[in-house]
Amino acid sequence: MSDFLIELEKAAGGVGSVRTNEPMKHHTTFRTGGPAAYFAAPSCVKELSDTVKLCRGEEIPYYILGNGSNLLVSDAGYRGAVISMENFCGCAVTGDRIRAGAGLLLSRLARKALESSLTGFEFAAGIPGTLGGAVVMNAGAYGGEIKQVLQSVTVLNKSGEVLELEAKDLDLGYRHSNILERGYIVVEGEILLEPGESAAIKARMEELAARRREKQPLEYPSAGSTFKRPEGHFAGRLIEEAGLRGFQVGGAQVSEKHCGFVINRNHATSADILELCRQIQERVKLQSGVDLEMEVRRLGDF
């Protein structure tokens, strides 16, 4: 066992808190990606802070992982430490407010809102990410976005200090926040909802889930919409107009059901997915003159 691994285990919570050569295909919704040299899952702020400090001190790159639903990891893997937020999944309701850990899945948070007869979070129930990932991306769907409900976040800064920030300080915009550029790690967030009727909240969630099932290729691994919506256009429509419905590179395919989704159709590699994305960008640019920007994040060497 290397000295670094021993120290990492100590920092992240002791024996069992770190795995080595962890296949990232088990941690991304694309179901692709090679091994992470280290995969740590701290359980409290101190362990998180110690883990980050150790990596910084030893100059080992690290990456914060939510649910990996907006992430493409290189087939060669990642030579640093992936730090999973999976153990930060507490949740407490006080009046119209819900305070939750960054690793809590949005579906769980939405269920908590439903059980508490709180409305305003129905839009997020079908987004397969964590609260932390959703804050970073300002995730949104069906007319709702995190920005509308988020009140504040607790973050860890690069020096390991815990800060409480108001949502208005996060520069939340279309699939954007300033969290990554400032090197923050979201630890918790608080959302403010409104009293509602359980039956109506449940009905709205079911309606949106049915719309997703009807329009999106949920039967295949993907990262949702692969590209950001270009101003004045829809990525899916541009891709369809470029004649790319069903277009395939290796095992990666432009979904036949929804052209905005690149899917892992048949044992795709991350290289297949990225090459397909590159060809889509090229063909769409030629066809319509529009630059498509990837929404999906990349990790490792491509």
Stretch that binds ligand FAD, among 11-19, 218-226, 239-247, 248-256 (CB under 6 A): 218-226
Residue 69 annotated to the active site: no
Sequence-distant (≥ 6) Cβ neighbours of residue 235 within 8 angstroms: 225, 226, 227, 228, 229, 259, 260, 292
**Cα–Cα distances in angstroms (integers) from residue 224 to residues 18, 125, 236, in the given order:** 29, 14, 11
Closest CB 227 distance from ligand FAD, rounded Å: 12
Please pick, from the candidates 186, 238, 244, 292, the single residue that binds ligand FAD as defined by CB under 6 A: 186
Q: Are 146 and 153 in contact (CB under 8 A)?
A: no
Diameter over CA atoms, the chain: 56
Please pick, from the candidates 17, 49, 222, 253, the single residue that binds ligand FAD as defined by CB under 6 A: 222
Residue 295 annotated to the active site: yes
Closest CB 286 distance from ligand FAD, rounded Å: 27
**Cα–Cα distances in angstroms (integers) from residue 279 to residues 137, 229, 264, 286, in the given order:** 25, 17, 16, 11
Residue 175 annotated to the active site: yes
- In angstroms, rounded to a whole number, what is the distance separating the alpha carbons of residues 246 and 274? 16
- Answer yes or no whether residue 52 interacts with ligand FAD by CB under 6 A: no
CB closer to ligand FAD out of 66 and 300? 66
CB closer to ligand FAD out of 67 and 119? 67
Q: Given 225, 255, 265, 283, which residue is catalytic?
A: 225
CB closer to ligand FAD out of 141 and 242? 141
143 burial via Cβ count (<10 Å: 0-12, 13-18, 19+): exposed
Binding residues (CB under 6 A) for ligand FAD: these are 29, 63-71, 85, 102, 127-130, 132-134, 136-137, 139-141, 179-180, 185-186, 218, 222-224, 297
Which residues are identified as catalytic? 175, 225, 295
